[in-house]
Every structure is written in structure tokens, then in C-alpha cells.
Amino acid sequence: MSLKPKDIRFTDEGNYVHCNLLGDWLLVVGSGEAYTVWGNFWEISAQSISLCKFTLSPSSSWDSSLLLFLLRVKTELLKKGVDADFSALPEKVKKLLSFAEDRIAIAAPLTPEVINGSNLWADQLVQSFIQVSTFWGKWLLAVGKLFLGRSFMRFGDLIHTCRDCGASALPIVTLIAFLTGLTMAFVGSVQLEKFNATIYVADLVSLAMVREMGALMVAIVMAGRTGAAFAAELGSMKIREEIDSLRTFGIPAIEFLVLPRTLALLLMTPLLTLYADIVGILGGLTVGSQVMDFSALHYFEQTQSALTNMWEIYSGLFKSVAFGLIIGLVGCYKGLFTGNNSASLGKSVTSSVVVSITLIVVCDAIFEICFSLLGYR
């Protein structure tokens, strides 16, 4: 395999050189023609210049051989302290070059100098912060484009994801919420019985479920169930280079893959939380009616009197919105930035669950502090 003949026309423009790429830059199988432009290029680039500006003839045909040539040229020029300007090249060439440079930067191995550097930890921290900030910014831009009607997101994907992370999660949410209400009723009755106030078990269970436990238990379940699934799905697509294929066709992965998943969790988590609140109260009712001999009517009246302030319910739902957003963004982020092998995929899935639950607990504490400072207790 060799390259078809091609040529570079150099024009000296003072402190920079204009390199006009001529001919067809195509790989040809079975051709014996040699690649003859390298020597001429390095001779001209050895001069005292600060910039090389590249242009491509409009009539030229090209394939990956042009990209490989330009990437190698840029590497060699940078070694000599010369910048390579690709701004005048066709838009498709620039996009593919940018994509290839990003891939090379991600896959570049650490050199011993970097590994032994004292600022490695700080550099990694800054790089991670920039990566997270870029992901968050792209997601916000994708949401804006959705409202403007210019998004690549398909609403069929949104509906399908809502079903997967909403209706399909009802069995496990029902079990966890019911047992949570049941447990709180048993534990509360032990203490309240000392004061002959076991009827206040209804108050305890209802307030704990709507303010804290409903949203928190749903969030933890969704982090382990849906967030991990998002990380696994996107990580598998990354390994199979499906995400790279989308980018090649000009489809942003944030809009096409991340946006429907995060919006689905944003919508379904509050609904599941409201459902978990009801099921948890029914769990407390089971203990109250079967163990403490309360009538169902009496238990519901006590629950109603405890929930006269609607803020108690709204605060839990407000938290659940933030929890859903955290789970969706963390799961998708870990999936998009996973490595290229199965071991890194497993680490990304595990990391998504751990990070999501950690952020959920931290976020919940921040909400409680803010509510307390604002007087919403």
C-alpha cells in the first residue's frame, strides 16, 4: 500500500510559510509510487519561521492519509517551536483533526517525567475539574437547544427511558419503601410506648417518609439500579466506538444519549418519591393496625393532622428532583469517560454508584441546613 503522488507548494510570507496542499491525498492499494513530499517539507520547515499555514486545493480528494500527514506535520513542527495553522482547511478536515487530537490526548501515556512530577496530583485534579465543568456546560447548552427546538434528542428515547427508570422500578421501590415504613414504625413504637404515646407513630412515619426517607431511599435505589445501568450502557458504547461514530456524523453524544436519560430521571424520581411516601405510610399503617391495634381510620386521621403543612411534602419532592439530576449526570459522565477495556467499564459502573450516593447524602445535608436557616423546619 502506498500513496498517490501529491505535492506541496510553499510560499514564503515573511515570518511564516504558506503550505498549499495540491493533488489527491488518497491511499492506493497495489501502487508502487513512493511518497515524495516529506523530504521537501522538512527542508522548508527547517527555516527560521514561527508559523505554517495550511490550505487544501478545492478540487483535491482526500481520505485518512491527509489527516495522518497533518497530525505528523504538526507534531514535528511543535518540536521545532513552529505553530501549525489549520484554520483555512475545509470544515470537515478541521473537525476530524480536532477529534483525532482529542483521542490522542486521552490515550497518551504518562511519561516518567510527568509521573515523577510533584504537581501530578494537582494537575489531575485540575484536569478532572475542567472535564466535569465542560460536561456540565455542554449539558446545559443541550437543554437550551432543546427548548429552542434544535436538539438532536429523540422524544421516543425519552419516553422509552422514562418507562425503564420509572414503571420498571416500581417493584423494588415498593418493597424498599414498605419495609422502610414498617421498620420506622417498629423502632418508633418502642420509644413512644415509654411515654404512652404510641399513636404518634403515625406522625413519625409520615413526616420521616415525606421529608427524608422517601426521597433518600428512592435516590439510593435509582443510583444502584438506573445510574449504574446508564454508566454501563454508555461505557459499552464507548468501548465499541459507537459514540465516536455519532461524533463522526456530527451528532453530539450529550444531546443524543445523555439528555434523554437525565431528563427521564429528572421527571421520574419525584413521581417515584411521591409513590414511595404513600407506600411507606402504608407500611406504618400495617404495624399500627396489626401490632398496636389502631384502627385504620384513626391512623389516617393522625397522619393527616401531621401533614397539614404542605411544605413537608414539597421539601421531599424538591430534594428528589436534585437527586434525580445527580444520578443521571454522574451515571452518564462515568459512562462517557470510561476507558477502552472491560476493566475500566467495571470501575466506571462501581464509581458511578459510589459517587452518586455520596453526592446524594451531601446534597441532602445541604438542603437540610438551608431549610433550617430559612426557617422551614
* Residue 31 confidence (pLDDT): 44
* Digit-coded pLDDT (tens) for 94-121: 888 877 776 655 444 444 444 444 456 6
Nine-digit cell string for 164: 425503564
Contacts 24+ apart (CB under 8 A), 337-343: 337/131, 337/135, 338/231, 338/234, 338/235, 338/238, 338/239, 340/107, 340/238, 340/239, 341/239, 342/239
* Digit-coded pLDDT (tens) for 245-258: 888 888 888 989 99
End residue of a domain, out of 53, 78, 108 = 108
Segment 260-270 shows an average pLDDT of 93
The HSE-up count of residue 18 (CA atoms within 13 Å, CB side) is: 9
* Residue 108 confidence (pLDDT): 46
Check whether 1 has a pLDDT greater than 90.
no
Does 172 share its domain with 91?
A: no
The HSE-up count of residue 304 (CA atoms within 13 Å, CB side) is: 6
Highest averaged pLDDT of the listed ranges 6-10, 16-20, 271-275: 271-275
Question: Under 8 Å CB-to-CB from 102, ≥6 apart: which residues?
Answer: none
* Residue 91 confidence (pLDDT): 82
Does 135 share its domain with 248?
A: no
Binning pLDDT at 50, 70 and 90, where does residue 312 land? confident
End residue of a domain, out of 121, 147, 173 = 147
Q: Sign of the CA dihedral 176, 179, 181, 184?
A: negative
Binning pLDDT at 50, 70 and 90, where does residue 132 land? confident
Which comes out higher in pLDDT, residue 51 or 260? 260
Check whether 210 has a pLDDT greater than 80.
yes
* CA separation for the pair 280, 178 (Å, rounded): 5
* Residue 265 confidence (pLDDT): 93
Does 132 share its domain with 181?
A: no
Does 44 share its domain with 70?
A: yes
Does 309 share its domain with 364?
A: yes
Place of cell 508559523: 51
Lowest-confidence pick of 26-40, 285-299, 321-335: 26-40
Cα Rg, the chain, nearest whole Å: 30
Pairing relation of β-strands 7-12 and 51-56? Answer: unpaired
Domain of 36 in residue numbering reads as 2-108
Average pLDDT, the chain: 82
* CA separation for the pair 266, 158 (Å, rounded): 11
Place of cell 430534594: 319
What separation, in Å, do the N-terminal and C-terminal C-alpha atoms of the chain show? 75
Pairing relation of β-strands 27-28 and 2-3? Answer: antiparallel
Check whether 262 has a pLDDT greater than 60.
yes
Other Cβ atoms less than 10 A from the Cβ of 33: the count is 11
* CA separation for the pair 171, 174 (Å, rounded): 5
* Residue 372 confidence (pLDDT): 85
Binning pLDDT at 50, 70 and 90, where does residue 35 land? very low
Does 213 share its domain with 265?
A: yes
Does 117 share its domain with 262?
A: no
* Residue 328 confidence (pLDDT): 93
Binning pLDDT at 50, 70 and 90, where does residue 220 land? very high
* Residue 6 confidence (pLDDT): 57
- Give the distance, in angstroms, between the CA of residue 325 and the centroid of all CA atoms in the same chain: 10
* Residue 85 confidence (pLDDT): 82
Binning pLDDT at 50, 70 and 90, where does residue 41 land? low
* Residue 95 confidence (pLDDT): 81
* Residue 311 confidence (pLDDT): 84
Q: Is residue 333 within 8 Å of 262, Cβ to Cβ?
A: no
* Residue 232 confidence (pLDDT): 93
| DSSP bridge partners of 19 | 10, 54
Burial of 374 (0-12, 13-18, 19+ CB in 10 A): exposed
In total, how many domains does the chain have? 3
Does 162 share its domain with 210?
A: yes
| Three-state secondary structure call for residue 81 | coil
Nine-digit cell string for 213: 426517607
Q: Is residue 32 within 8 Å of 2, Cβ to Cβ?
A: yes
Does 260 share its domain with 345?
A: yes
Does 104 share its domain with 136?
A: no
End residue of a domain, out of 108, 135, 163 = 108
Other Cβ atoms less than 10 A from the Cβ of 317: the count is 17
- Give the distance, in angstroms, between the CA of residue 146 and the centroid of all CA atoms in the same chain: 17
Backbone angles phi, psi at 20, to 5 degrees: -100, 115
Q: Is residue 363 within 8 Å of 319, Cβ to Cβ?
A: yes
- Give the distance, in angstroms, between the CA of residue 276 and the centroid of all CA atoms in the same chain: 26
| Three-state secondary structure call for residue 10 | strand
* Digit-coded pLDDT (tens) for 313-340: 888 899 999 999 999 999 999 999 888 8
| DSSP bridge partners of 28 | 2
Segment 2-31 shows an average pLDDT of 66
Does 354 share its domain with 225?
A: yes
Does 140 share its domain with 265?
A: no
Question: pLDDT over 90 for what percent of the chain?
Answer: 32
DSSP letter string over 84-111? EE-TTS-HHHHHHHHHHHHHHHHHPPPP
Lowest-confidence pick of 13-27, 178-192, 204-218: 13-27
